[in-house]
Chains A and B, each alone.
Chain A
Amino acid sequence: MIFGVPLVALASQLVIGLFNGAFYALLSLGLGVIFGLLRVVNFTHGAFYTVGAFAAFLLTTRAGFSFWACLLMAPAIVALLAAVLERALLRKLYGLDALYGLLLTFGIALLIEGTLQLFFGVAGQPYQVPAILSGTSNLGFMFLPHYRAFAIGISLLICLLTWLVIEYTSLGAKLRAATENSRLLEVFGVNVPLLLTCTYAFGGALAGFAGVVAAPVFQVSPLMGANLIIVVFAVVIIGGLGSITGAIVSGLMLGTLEALAKVYWPPSANLVPFAIMAVVLFLRPRGLFGKGE
């Protein structure tokens, strides 16, 4: 018993918290990278997550692809969609007030979600957990569902790889330089327009990846992203806009705190992200890891 809560219950809630936190981290990481470079608050992000889940659902139920194939194919599809949107629409708004980008991406999200509702209705569709991950292990103090452990592990791995690329490779150095002064970087011969397209596509792919990983646990539905993305914006604000570490750490932290709130004071769980956001905004408006401008 810990503060009157059985260890088993606490441990299982923590796993659920980390599981949710892993999604927050993947999504806020993509949002953060996109905002850092494009200066666009990407309201389409939740829709990218939804498209990722639907792509997996359709690829598996209609074309017979395995979950593992979907894990690669669905993010690629979302990346392609994002690249087209960036080239055709978003690009036209660079240099204008950030509000335009926000309105455009919000509009695109509504369009995507509306289209999916037209074809699939609002009801959720089930997606099978891959057989090899369907079991549960008894750890003595708790039962650990294999799929959740896998989801946490692979999400964190992707976050870690992204972080390594940004911090330690020459591509990452170009990204960071473009975040500081992209016009000068262009003068030096770096194809910044291409870099922007790739960044938007990559951010989209991260969201699509999260969508595939989410599909077996949550129902695949047109509004699954819209519900999640609001919390993810709170995560981004808590971590600090544009901070990579901030996105990952605060994503996991928020998932965990939410889970703890569910154990100790269930009615507060939904409020936790926003309460923390309010406190952070009040004490440190730039976010926990934000560097400020």
Chain B
Amino acid sequence: MRYEPLLWIENLQGWYGESHILHGVNLAVPRGQTIAILGRNGVGKTTTLRGIVGLLTRTTGSIRMNGKELIGMPRHRIAYTGIGYVPEERGIYASLSVQENLDLLPKISNRGMSLERIFDLFPNLKERRRAAGGTLSGGEQQMLSIARVLRAGPELLVLDEPTEGLSPVVVQQIGRVLKALKQDGLTMLLVEQNFHFARHLADHFYLMEEGRVVDDFPAYHLEARLETVSSLIGV
């Protein structure tokens, strides 16, 4: 099944408790590509990613990763289908040191990145390896959040607004890292408000509105679509 996308979401409905947030998300992430989800605040981008990794109260529809159905799978098994999740809130464990955060995740494949390569990509983390996670700056936390899932060896990197609230220098640094990973062939699903950041990375775009995917197009149609996109997400 070479032609089945790595991740394939069909008619995903999602709930937080009683509130019905996702009303039918369809999207495909082909192997080796970077997919970006765009959309205004509160349309359900984060909720879609949380649905993928099993963090919603309830989901229906279908999420197939590497040919395996994720809906109904115990939450701790999901990572082993090849998913590395970088949450919007970064999820750094404040009481663990940087090194402990880096060593925390179980290896989900033998593609896990070596510490050497990690410190190559993120030199700041090397200097701070003994510091407690809670003392890191926003940029350092974001780097650590990306670095530690890379250690586990995912096939698909799921990133929720990796540049949110960071200085231009750090945004550039993270951009360089993601480009390098893309060149290595890593597949990525990216939620990003920073449109200019996303357009340098993504091969394909999805637009969301009110819990639904309303449009999608390849990167080379972006110029032609710029006006619709701008009106939809307000860039």
Binding site for B on A (CB under 8 A): 170, 173-174, 176-177, 179-181, 183-193
Q: Which residue of A lies closest to B93 (CB)?
A: A177
**CB-defined contacts of A193 to chain B, threshold 8 Å:** 74, 76
Contact A177 B104 (CB under 8 A): yes
Which of A180, A183, A188, A192 sits near B105, CB closer than 8 Å?
A188
Contact B85 A188 (CB under 8 A): yes
Chain B binding surface, main DSSP class: loop
Contact B152 A188 (CB under 8 A): yes
**CB-defined contacts of B105 to chain A, threshold 8 Å:** 188-190
Closest 7 A-B residue pairs measured CB to CB? A189-B79, A186-B75, A173-B100, A189-B106, A188-B105, A187-B53, A186-B76
Q: Which residue of A lies closest to B134 (CB)?
A: A180
Contact count band on B: 20 to 34
**CB-defined contacts of A180 to chain B, threshold 8 Å:** 93-95
Contact B87 A188 (CB under 8 A): no
**CB-defined contacts of A190 to chain B, threshold 8 Å:** 76, 105-106
The reply to whether the CB of B91 lies closer than 8 angstroms to some CB of chain A is yes
**CB-defined contacts of B108 to chain A, threshold 8 Å:** 189
Binding site for A on B (CB under 8 A): 53-55, 74-80, 85, 87, 91, 93-96, 100, 103-106, 108, 149, 152
Query: What are some 23 contacts across the A-B interface (CB < 8 A)?
Result: A170-B103, A170-B104, A176-B95, A177-B96, A179-B95, A180-B93, A180-B94, A181-B91, A183-B75, A184-B91, A186-B75, A187-B75, A187-B78, A187-B85, A188-B79, A188-B149, A189-B76, A189-B78, A189-B79, A189-B106, A189-B152, A190-B76, A190-B105
Q: How far is the CB of B159 from chain A (nearest CB, A)?
A: 14
Q: Which residue of B lies closest to A188 (CB)?
A: B105
**CB-defined contacts of A176 to chain B, threshold 8 Å:** 93, 95-96
**CB-defined contacts of A183 to chain B, threshold 8 Å:** 55, 75
Q: Which residue of A lies closest to B52 (CB)?
A: A187
Q: A176-B93, A184-B91, A185-B104 are in contact. List 20 more A-B contacts (CB 8 A).
A: A170-B104, A176-B96, A177-B104, A180-B94, A180-B95, A181-B93, A183-B55, A186-B76, A187-B78, A187-B79, A187-B85, A188-B85, A188-B105, A188-B106, A188-B152, A189-B79, A189-B80, A189-B108, A192-B75, A193-B74
Q: Which residue of B lies closest to A180 (CB)?
A: B93
Separation of A181 and B75 alpha carbons in the complex (Å): 14
Query: Contacts A180-B94, A180-B95, A187-B53 given: A174-B76 contact, CB under 8 Å?
Result: no
Separation of A188 and B80 alpha carbons in the complex (Å): 9
Contact A192 B76 (CB under 8 A): yes
Separation of A183 and B85 alpha carbons in the complex (Å): 12
Name the residue among B74, B76, B94, B104 with the largest chain A CB count within 10 angstroms.
B76
Separation of A188 and B76 alpha carbons in the complex (Å): 7
Q: Which residue of B lies closest to A168 (CB)?
A: B100
Contact A174 B87 (CB under 8 A): no
Q: How far is the CB of B88 from chain A (nearest CB, A)?
A: 11
**CB-defined contacts of A170 to chain B, threshold 8 Å:** 103-104
Q: How far is the CB of A95 from chain B (nearest CB, A)?
A: 11
Q: How far is the CB of B103 from chain A (nearest CB, A)?
A: 6
**CB-defined contacts of B104 to chain A, threshold 8 Å:** 170, 173-174, 177, 185, 188
Q: How far is the CB of A105 from chain B (nearest CB, A)?
A: 25
Q: How far is the CB of A99 from chain B (nearest CB, A)?
A: 20
Q: How far is the CB of A172 from chain B (nearest CB, A)?
A: 9
**CB-defined contacts of B78 to chain A, threshold 8 Å:** 187, 189
Which of A173, A184, A188, A189 sits near B96, CB closer than 8 Å?
A173
Separation of A184 and B53 alpha carbons in the complex (Å): 9
Separation of A192 and B75 alpha carbons in the complex (Å): 9
Query: Contacts A180-B94, A187-B85 given: A173-B76 contact, CB under 8 Å?
Result: no
**CB-defined contacts of A184 to chain B, threshold 8 Å:** 87, 91
Q: How far is the CB of A153 from chain B (nearest CB, A)?
A: 30
Separation of A180 and B103 alpha carbons in the complex (Å): 16
**CB-defined contacts of A192 to chain B, threshold 8 Å:** 75-76
Name the residue among A174, A183, A189 with the largest chain B CB count within 10 angstroms.
A189
**CB-defined contacts of B76 to chain A, threshold 8 Å:** 186-187, 189-193
Contact A173 B79 (CB under 8 A): no
**CB-defined contacts of A173 to chain B, threshold 8 Å:** 96, 100, 103-104
Q: How far is the CB of A178 from chain B (nearest CB, A)?
A: 9
Q: How far is the CB of A198 from chain B (nearest CB, A)?
A: 14
**CB-defined contacts of B91 to chain A, threshold 8 Å:** 181, 184
**CB-defined contacts of A179 to chain B, threshold 8 Å:** 95
Separation of A177 and B94 alpha carbons in the complex (Å): 9
